[in-house]
Amino acid sequence: MTRIGFIRHGITDWNVEGRVQGQTDIPLNEAGRKQAYALADRLKGEEWDLIYSSDLSRTGETAEIVAKALGLPVRTDIRLREMHCGEVEGTTPEERIARWGKDWKSLPLNIESSASIVDRGLSFVFYLLDNHAGSSVLVVSHGALVRLTLKVLIPHVDTKERLRNASITTLAHLNGSWDCALYNCAKHIF
């Protein structure tokens, strides 16, 4: 059995402001660091073999905090980056409406497609299954990438709920099928 723990990074100032981060490299804020430490404390009693992270600083810092608590190294993979949000990166909902109108989502604003995000996510998951079969792997990534990848892997689970910052979702892969033991759990966040 291969087990994957998908973690969304801790909160950032742009999360608080409602700004689209996308692939803009925004660091954790102090609350995000506290969330990562709370997650690390929670995971101390569990068996994990390795940690992968997106190469963006908000995921990297979350992963490093967890890794230090568990005594594990962090490996990065660019496929785990958040979706590229094109021209909307850095904008608030109000700014998007002011610039492009209420139907801004229908405009060609150079936003990465859901299919592209899923392709990256699944490519990484299949890499884990091929290269770390039988391991328990933590994967620190971003809301859209994790949510869209999970929708494909576990269509029998309701994944509509927005993933919370520093939440963990655990899947087990056995005999070609996926089981979701935990979804969007953030009980460690105060």
* Closest to 111 in 3D by CA, of 96, 98, 126: 96
Q: 173 labelled as ligand-binding? A: no
**Residue of 64, 82, 89, 112 with catalytic role:** 82
**Residue 120 marked as a ligand binder:** no
Q: What whole-number distance in Å separates Cα of residue 95 and Cα of residue 8?
A: 25
User: DSSP labels for 71-85?
Assistant: T--EEE-GGGSPPP-
DSSP strand pairing (50-53 vs 136-141):
parallel
Q: What is the pLDDT of residue 57?
A: 98
Question: Any known ligand binding at 104?
Answer: no
Residue 82 falls in the annotated catalytic set: yes
pLDDT beyond 90 at 190: no
User: Is 156 annotated as catalytic?
Assistant: no
Task: Find out whether 170 is annotated in a ligand binding site.
Answer: no
Tokens read off for 62: 């979350």
**What would the pLDDT profile of 47-73 be if each residue is shown by its tens digit?**
999 999 999 999 999 999 999 999 999
pLDDT at 163: 97
Tell me the pLDDT band of 46, cut-offs 50, 70 and 90: very high
Answer yes or no: is 79 a known binding residue: no
Task: Tell me which DSSP letter residue 165 carries.
Answer: T
The pLDDT assigned to 9 comes to 98
For the chain, how far is it from start to end, CA to CA, in angstroms? 32
Catalytic residue among 9, 89, 112, 142: 9
Residue 125: is its pLDDT beyond 90?
yes
Tell me if 42 is assigned to a ligand binding site: no
Ordered by where they begin, the domains of the chain are: 2-140+157-185 (3.40.50.1240)
Ligand-binding site membership of 179 (annotated): no
Convert the pLDDT of each residue in 74-109 to its tens digit: 999 999 999 999 999 999 999 999 999 999 999 999
